[in-house]
């Protein structure tokens, strides 16, 4: 592969990702099967030309592990030069988080066994939202990892990803309400202690913990919409459903105060082949919508042609660069 193709794409793509202090996180989102892992590796490779970059896959399909021949999950491997990779697996973290919650519940409610409710604690492992919480904790870690200039996140399917991204704002709202309730409890406890002649306890570990959590999630909420800290790359193929999902993702990002920096259109058929297959009109309509409605200024549109086989190695992904085209919409 010559250097011209990759240098041109670096020139087009990297300026769209503003890097400030600490790692800059790039979320690669899109409908399942559109090529998020391929695009994540491609973006990671481009960014590694200007700074050490980690590509981490949160997708449980584990394509990244396969494509880059990573020996194990939950370990960072140096792939080449400044490019690093890690396949995240939720299993161990879900076990650890559920155990943490079970211990907390038993500490807070020691009478569970007396009430024959202790078995309900075991249900925590399968509780709704636990998987999203595990992913959210991993994302929090990524923003704190100063080893890398960039972190490219190969995300799970869109629905799960958007739920994860909505959690920081939701948690901040909940915690604000819980802090208000806890402050009233502490005040009442203070009044009762003084009225019966006891010295009231001034410290409240629960209130301190709630405030610490609120600060953590409020900062993450800000980081997610701060262009110096976060970018979003949306991947779609020129078909109705992926384009619809890309458009809905843009609307979600705008609702939280963010915008996509990069739109990647993957698997574009040559016009003559699309015409022969009878999909030229569908593809043309999808491309037009992605170019004019989904990729809104300022935005970089990267177009990747269809290849004969799905890229399943680093070399195969890099070969796409020579055939890809970046368009900067100012």
Same domain, 108 and 150: no
Judged against a pLDDT cut of 70, whether residue 217 lies above it is answered with yes
pLDDT band at residue 110 under the 50/70/90 scheme = low
Provide the CA 83 distance to its chain's centre, in angstroms: 19
Same domain, 120 and 15: no
Same domain, 154 and 107: no
Same domain, 61 and 109: no
Structure tokens at 166: 């909505």
Is the CB of residue 39 less than 8 Å from the CB of residue 326? Answer: no
Relative orientation angle of helices 240-255 and 280-289, to the nearest 10 degrees: 10
Whole-number pLDDT of residue 107: 59
Strands 262-268 and 299-305: parallel
Instruction: Please give the backbone phi and psi of residue 222, each rounded to the nearest 5 degrees, phi first.
Output: -70, -40
Is the CB of residue 83 less than 8 Å from the CB of residue 44? Answer: yes
Write out pLDDT tens, residues 273-301: 999 999 999 999 999 999 988 987 778 88
Number of domains the chain contains: 2
Read off the pTM: 0.87
Boundary-marking domain end, from 126, 148, 175: 126
How many C-alpha atoms does 292 have within 13 Å on its Cβ side? Answer: 6
- What is the chain's mean pLDDT, rounded? 85
CATH number of the domain bearing residue 259: 3.40.50.300
Is the CB of residue 40 less than 8 Å from the CB of residue 150? Answer: no
Instruction: Please give the backbone phi and psi of residue 84, each rounded to the nearest 5 degrees, phi first.
Output: -125, 160
Same domain, 10 and 159: yes
Closest CA to 75 of 65, 67, 66, 63: 65
Residue 184: strand, helix, or coil: helix
Write out pLDDT tens, residues 68-91: 999 999 999 999 999 999 999 987
Same domain, 147 and 101: no
Same domain, 11 and 78: yes
Bridge partners of residue 87, in order along the sequence? 57
Is the CB of residue 236 less than 8 Å from the CB of residue 289? Answer: no
Domain housing 104: 94-126
């Amino acid at each position: 592969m010559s250097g011209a193709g990759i240098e041109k794409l670096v020139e087009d793509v990297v300026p769209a990702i503003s890097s400030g202090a600490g790692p800059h996180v790039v979320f690669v989102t899109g409908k399942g099967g559109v090529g998020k892992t391929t695009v994540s590796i491609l973006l990671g490779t481009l960014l590694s030309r200007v700074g050490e970059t980690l590509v981490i896959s949160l997708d449980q399909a584990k394509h990244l592990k396969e494509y880059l021949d990573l020996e194990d999950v939950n370990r960072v491997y140096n792939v080449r030069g400044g490019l690093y990779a890690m396949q995240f697996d939720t299993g161990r973290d879900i076990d650890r988080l559920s155990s943490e919650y079970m211990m907390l519940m038993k500490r807070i409610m020691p009478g569970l066994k007396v009430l024959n409710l202790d078995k309900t604690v075991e249900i925590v492992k399968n509780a709704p939202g636990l998987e999203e919480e595990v992913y959210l904790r991993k994302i929090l870690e990524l923003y704190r990892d100063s080893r890398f200039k960039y972190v490219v996140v190969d995300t799970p399917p869109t629905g799960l990803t958007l739920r994860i991204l909505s959690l920081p704002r939701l948690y901040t709202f909940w915690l604000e309400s819980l802090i208000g309730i806890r402050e009233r409890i502490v005040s009442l406890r203070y009044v009762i202690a003084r009225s019966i002649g006891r010295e009231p306890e001034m410290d409240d570990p629960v209130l301190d913990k709630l405030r610490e959590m609120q600060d953590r999630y409020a900062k993450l909420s800000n980081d997610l919409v701060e262009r110096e800290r976060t970018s979003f790359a949306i991947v779609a193929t020129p078909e109705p459903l992926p384009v619809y999902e890309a458009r809905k993702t843009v609307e979600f990002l705008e609702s939280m105060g963010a915008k996509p920096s990069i739109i990647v259109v993957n698997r574009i058929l040559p016009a003559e082949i699309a015409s022969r297959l009878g999909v030229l009109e569908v593809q043309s309509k999808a491309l037009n919508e992605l170019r004019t409605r989904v990729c809104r200024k300022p935005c970089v549109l990267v177009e990747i042609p269809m290849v004969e086989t799905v890229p399943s190695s680093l070399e195969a992904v890099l070969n796409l660069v020579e055939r890809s085209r970046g368009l900067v919409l100012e």
